[in-house]
Structures are given as C-alpha cells and as structure tokens.
Amino acid sequence: MNLSILGFEFINLEKNYIMKYLFVFLLIGLVGCDGATAEASSENKADATSEAEESKTSDDQKIAENESKEYATVKIENLEIMAEDLGQMEWDEVNQKCAELGDKWRLPTKEELNFLYQNKETIGGFDNYEYWSSEQEGAQNDAWVQFFGNGYQYTNDEAEIPNARLVRDLK
C-alpha cells in the first residue's frame, strides 16, 4: 500500500466524519430553531388573543358607559336641556336615540327650539348650524329646523344633516 493512497483515504474519511458532524449540527440547529419559532408563534398567538379579549372588554365597557351615561343639563323655566349636542344625525337616527335614552328625552318643538336659540348663550355649546325640531310639515313630512347662526326656521330639505339637542319637561 502506498502511503499517499492511505493519506488520501484518511483525508476522505476525515471529511466524511466532518460532513456527518456538520450535517447533524445543522439538523439539530434547524429543529431547535423550528421549536423556538413554534414557541414564539404560540406566544404571539397568546398575546394576540389577550389583546383581542382586552379590546372586547373595553368595547363592552364603552357600550355600558354610553348606555348609563348621565348627560349634563341646564334647566330653564319648564325645560331641562342637554348641555351638549348629540351631534349631526339623520331624522330617524335622532328619534331612535330619544327612544334609547328614555326618561322622556325628545326633540324640542318649533317654539321650544326658538326658546333655545334665544337662550343659546345661557345654555351654551351650540354651533352656528341647523338644529332639529320635533315638528313636521308637508306631504313629505319634512321636519322643521332652526339655523342657530341667524335664528331662521324652515323645513329641512335633506341637503344638510342637522344637529340634535334634546330636551325634556321638568317634573
């Protein structure tokens, strides 16, 4: 046997062992990374689930707060008036909100709305914009509104969506 052949064979054997060890090392590393990825993935899923539950809880709390919300009011003569607008709302939406609030909250009549306009500085919080009244007129049952910039009253032509400010009779 030639030493060079033995040396060559020895080098080939050594390379095979190195390759085997390298292969095993990489295999273990990949399995280990996959396990870590699975663990991280399950942690991320747990975090996402926890965040979703917190979000749902806070949404439920917001709904409960909104349902039990006490509105600040101003009392003038025989009316109790919400101190803030409910915002711009469609006619049906306003009437639904009145029903949801209960406690006899309603839109003001044309005369009451004009009273609110005349006392808007005392009551506060009004925009120079249209406000709904509870009264309707005409074949299409257009509701009366009042513009709080100048006090004009007219029927709503549905070009604009008025604000809503609710009132109720004092007990």
pLDDT value at position 30? 58
| CATH classification at residue 154 | 3.10.100
Cα-based angle 25, 30, 31 (whole degrees, multiple of 5): 100
pLDDT value at position 138? 74
Given 19, 49, 69, which residue is the final one in a domain?
69
Shared-domain flag, residues 8 and 58: yes
The strands making up 163-164's β-sheet, listed across from edge to edge, are: 87-88, 163-164, 130-137, 142-147, 153-155
Shared-domain flag, residues 77 and 48: no
Domain that holds residue 93: 73-169
Residue pLDDT tens, the chain, 171 long: 555 555 555 555 555 666 666 666 655 665 554 444 445 555 555 555 555 555 554 444 433 334 446 789 999 999 999 999 999 999 889 999 999 998 899 999 999 999 999 999 999 999 999 999 999 887 566 889 999 999 999 998 767 899 999 999 997
* Threshold 0.75, pTM exceeds: no
Shared-domain flag, residues 139 and 165: yes
Given 69, 90, 108, which residue is the final one in a domain?
69
Shared-domain flag, residues 95 and 116: yes
Shared-domain flag, residues 65 and 78: no
Which among 131, 138, 134, 137 has a CA at the least distance from the CA of 89?
Answer: 131
Given 53, 69, 85, which residue is the final one in a domain?
69
Structural domains counted in the chain = 2
Shared-domain flag, residues 80 and 131: yes
Q: Phi, psi (5° rounding) for residue 22?
A: -65, -40
